[in-house]
Chains A and B, each alone.
Chain A
Amino acid sequence: MTGQTALEGIRVLELSGLYGAYCGKLFADMGANVTLMEPLAGSPMRDKPPFIGDKPGENNSLAFAYFAANKQSVSTDLKTADGQRVLLQSASEADLLILSDHPDADAVDLEALCVANPRLVCTRITPYGSSGPYSTFSGDDLTLMAMGGLLTMAGYPDCAPVVAYGEQGLLAADQFSAVASLAAVLRAERTGRGELIDLSIQEAIVMALENAAQTYQLEGKVRNRSASARRAGSGIFPCKDGQIYLLAGGIGETAMWGSFARWMAAQNISGTEIFAAQEWNDTAPGANEIFQAIFLPFAMTQTKDQLYQGGKTWGVPIAPMSTPVDLLSNRQLLHRKYFVELPAGSPLSGTPVPGAPYKLSATPWKLRTPAPVLGRLDPKDATQ
Chain B
Amino acid sequence: MTELPLSGVKVVDFCWIGAGSYTTKLLADLGADVIKVESSKSLDSLRLAAPYAGGIKGVNRSGYFADRNSSKRSITINMKDPRGVAIVHQLIQDCDIVANNFRPGTMDKLGVGYQALREMNPGLIFIGMSMNGDEGPDRTMLGYGITIAALTSFLGLSGYPDREPTGTGTNYPDHVPNPCHGAFAIMCALRHKNRTGEGQLIDMAQTEPMLSLMPIPVMDYSVNGRMAGRIGNRLEGYSPRGVYPVQGEDRWIAISVSSDEQWLALCSILGGPDLVNPEWEKEVGRHTAMDEIDRAIATQTADRDGYALMQNLQAQGVTSGVVQNASDLVDRDPQLKHRNHWRYLPHKEMGDSLYNGPPFQFASGPIGPRFAAPLLGEHNREVLTGKAGLDDLDIHDLVEQDVLV
Contact = CB atoms under 8 A, between A and B. Distances in A.
Interface string B380-402: 00000000000000000000000
A255 to B, nearest CB: 10
Contacts of A166: 154, 157, 213-214, 216
Interface stretch (B73-81, B87-95, B187-195): B187-195
Contacts of B273: none
B160 A317 contact: no
A244 interface: yes
B228 A324 contact: yes
B50 A252 contact: yes
B224 A53 contact: yes
A335 interface: yes
Contacts of B350: 218
20 contacts: A22-B213, A52-B223, A52-B224, A134-B335, A137-B314, A144-B321, A152-B323, A154-B158, A172-B180, A175-B176, A202-B336, A203-B336, A206-B359, A209-B170, A217-B353, A219-B50, A244-B150, A327-B217, A335-B135, A362-B198
A146 B252 contact: yes
A183 B5 contact: yes
B71 interface: no
Contacts of B362: 180, 184, 195-197
B215 interface: yes
B372 interface: no
A326 B153 contact: yes
Contact of A160 (B139, B233, B236, B321): B233
Contacts of B359: 173, 176, 199-204, 206-207
Interface residues of B, number: 158
Contact of A322 (B153, B203, B341, B360): B153
A91 interface: no
A201 B243 CA distance: 19
B219 A62 contact: yes
A226 interface: yes
Given A358-B202, A360-B189, A208 B170 contact: yes
Given A134-B335, A212-B326, A245-B146, 19 more contacts: A7-B188, A143-B321, A150-B170, A165-B154, A166-B216, A182-B188, A187-B4, A195-B2, A198-B361, A202-B359, A203-B341, A203-B358, A317-B142, A317-B144, A351-B219, A357-B185, A358-B203, A361-B200, A363-B189
A251 B170 CA distance: 11
Interface in B118-151: 132-133, 135-144, 146-151
Interface residues of A, number: 154
B208 A357 contact: yes
Contacts of B335: 128-129, 132-135, 200, 202
Interface in B347-362: 350, 353-354, 356-362
A142 interface: yes
A197 B216 contact: no
Contacts of B346: none
Interface stretch (B33-41, B52-60, B282-290): B52-60
